[in-house]
Amino acid sequence: MQIRAWSLYVPGSRYIFPGSRDEKKDYYSTSASAFGYSDGKLLPKEDCNFIQSAVDVINDNIDNPDFSVEDLAKVMRTSVRNLYRRFKVLNQPTPNDLINDLRFNLVTKLLVTTSLTVQEIMYRTGFNNRSHFNREFSRRYGSTPVEYRKKFKSICPS
């Protein structure tokens, strides 16, 4: 039998060629196919998919100020209580914190990359109350949204 340079030899079995049925079979029969990474943590694929689907649902509704954990649970087809339990078991932030984290991540991205006013950004990310928005932003980032934008623009002028 001639061995080709691009073949892969698995001890105790046949030669496996990249993309072949045997290669896929060997991959899916190992534990490597059952795990994935989420925030640098090794988690079962089902849990990674669950978290990713929650993030996708939140991102789809990020501009809705009335979007809540109850709405997330309804879309995820689970109860609010089970949603909180599942996030706790996976060592993730609570669903409410996840919603706020994703909103504020988008706020900082929009502050830095666009010339939208703070009010426009606030409404695009699902906030209705300006004082609550400014207080939360200041608590998280140590400055107001306008100061944050100025600070970043002075560091990295475009």
Alpha-carbon gap, residue 79 to 82, rounded angstroms: 5
Q: Check residue 32 and report its DSSP letter.
A: G
Q: Would you tell me which CATH number, out of the four given (3.40.190.10, 1.10.10.60, 3.40.1360.10, 3.40.50.2020), belongs to the domain 97-155?
A: 1.10.10.60
Closest CA to 55 of 13, 98, 10: 98
Q: Check residue 42 and report its DSSP letter.
A: E
The two tokens of residue 14 are 């046949």
| Extended beta strands in 21-113, E state | 35-38, 41-44
Alpha-carbon gap, residue 110 to 133, rounded angstroms: 15
In order along its 158 residues, the chain shows pLDDT tens digits of: 444 444 444 444 444 445 666 666 665 555 555 556 556 666 778 888 899 999 999 999 999 999 999 999 999 999 999 999 999 998 889 999 999 999 999 999 999 999 999 999 999 999 999 999 999 999 999 999 999 999 887 776 65
Please tell me the predicted confidence (pLDDT) of residue 43: 72
The SS3 assignment for 21 reads helix
CB atoms within 10 A of CB 110: 19
Contacts of 111 (CB under 8 A, 6+ apart): 118, 121, 145, 148, 149, 152
Annotated domain spans of the chain: 1-34, 97-155
Place of tokens 């049925």: 21
Alpha-carbon gap, residue 132 to 126, rounded angstroms: 12
Report field, pTM of the whole predicted structure over 0.85: no
User: Is the CB of residue 79 less than 8 Å from the CB of residue 73?
Assistant: yes
